[in-house]
Structure formats: structure tokens, C-alpha cells
Amino acid sequence: MRPSPRAVPGRTALVGLAALILAGCATTPPKPPANPDPFESFNRDVYQFNDALDRAVFRPVARAYLRYVPDPARRGVNNFFTNLTGPNVVLNDLLQGKFRQAFEDGMRFVFNSTFGIAGLVDVASSKGLVRHEEDFGQTLAVWGFPQGPFLMIPVLGPFTFRALPGAAVGYFTYPLFWVEDARITTPLAALGFIDLRAGAETTIRVVEETALDPYVFVRNAYLQRRNFLIWDGDPPVEDLLDELDEMDTQENDGMQTGDAGPSP
């Protein structure tokens, strides 16, 4: 029996998607560029803007949240918003060919969304279903797309060109995106942002108290973490050593650049 004309394009699309996934699984992520920050001057200006905005608005709100909201309540809020990233994680598991991990992450999302009271309680971890972090930027790296330049985005913070599409895909796979009632989505979006900023408070304090050049510290830490996630926590040793040497050079250059600027 011959397939219907409508069945052929759908079957071809599935074959093409499968080939793309298999090809992506066999691809080694490319090495970072020799100069990951060609727009450093612009990025530093954006970093200063973000820092000023954070000090004026986001930091006071985050510190009030940490001070006045009890720890169990904050933990439940964090669990809730972490659980909402589950569909995006499962999607990128599949796109990277990690089918067993996709099943585990899918079960984690189901358990926490039901038995965990909409994700407020992380019951999946007690079942041995550990949390994974996957996004479309990591998927592009697995498929062999280059990292591209580092970029500091107003309000949102550090990205690479390769990571930017991941933010868009994460947005469209976020369950709240499909809720059309602004009376629900607006306060939840604000709470999610406060939870995210509060979770970064300790790290931001460490950067401010220890880093000679906070911008370089943030950039290097971001790039190292992205590389760590792309390689699932096990980057090649030779690549890691090359990256550390390169970042040491960039940090020294950044310090010299900062010293050369006009004093306040």
C-alpha cells in the first residue's frame, strides 16, 4: 500500500530530525575562540549599567526577600520555578540524543508537578531522579556550532552568541508562556526574577569582595560554567588547561585596561 501524499513530508521530516540528532551526537563541541570578548569596551559599559541598576533596584528587593521570607517558603518558591524549566530540559535532552536522561528528566517533572504540589516540593530527588541542566545553547554546541563572541545584555547579564537562541527556546518552552492571564503571569514573573536574584546574592558578594576586576571575573566564570555544562561536567583536560591559561592572560589585560582609565 502506497503512503498518502500527506504522510511523505511528515515521514521525511522525522527522518531528517533523527539524522540531525544522530549527527549532533557525533559532533565534538568546537573549542572556544582565541578572543572570546571582541566587544569588551561595549560589554564593560553594559556591565556598569547592570551593576548600577542592580544596586538601585534589584539588590534591595532581593535582600529584603532573603531577610523577611522564611527559608522553607523561599525553598518552595525556588523548587516551583526550577520545576518549570523541566520541559525545556527534556526537549534538549532529546535533541542531544540523551534519551535515557530525557526519560528521567520527564519523570522528574511529572513527579514534582503532581506529588510535589506543582513543584513546590522536590520529591523527585528523593526517588534518585537528579536534576540536569540542558538548554538549546548547549544543544547547539553539541551540534558543532561555534561559541561566538561574549556579550553582556542589558538587565539579563552575560551570554554568548551561541547561548542567545537558548534563551528564546527556553522562553517558548516555559509553561507560563502559554498562560494568557496577565493577572497570573505578571506576579509570578516578578517572583521568579526575585528568586533568581536572591539566589545569586552570595556569589555577587564574593565577586565584589574578592575580584580585582569584577567584569573579567564574571565573564570568565560564565564562560567556564558554560563549558562545564556543555561537556556534562567533564571537559577535556587539555582544553581546560588552554582555557585557564587564556583566561589568566585576559584577566591581566583587563586589569591593565581598568588601571588605564580615568580616576573618579
Higher pLDDT, 263 or 135: 135
Contact by Cβ (8 Å): 191, 77: yes
pTM of the predicted structure, to 2 decimals: 0.79
Average pLDDT over residues 64-92: 97
Closest CA to 192 of 76, 88, 78, 56: 78
Contact by Cβ (8 Å): 133, 229: yes
Higher pLDDT, 104 or 13: 104
CB atoms within 10 A of CB 38: 13
Angle (deg, nearest 10), helices 214-230 and 40-53: 100
> What gap in Å lies between CA 136 and CA 9, rounded to an integer?
25
Task: Tell me the Cα Rg of the chain.
Answer: 21
pLDDT of residue 21: 46
**Tell me: the pLDDT tens digits for 54-72?**
999 999 999 999 999 999 9
Torsion, CA 42, CA 36, CA 143, CA 178, rounded to 10: -30
Q: Does the pLDDT value for residue 264 go beyond 70? A: no
Q: How many residues does the chain have?
A: 264
Domain residue ranges in the chain: 40-232
Contact by Cβ (8 Å): 81, 124: no
**Tell me: the pLDDT tens digits for 176-216?**
999 999 999 999 999 999 999 999 999 999 999 999 999 99
Q: What percent of the chain has pLDDT over 90?
A: 74
Q: Can you point out the beta strands (E) in the chain?
A: 150-153, 157-160
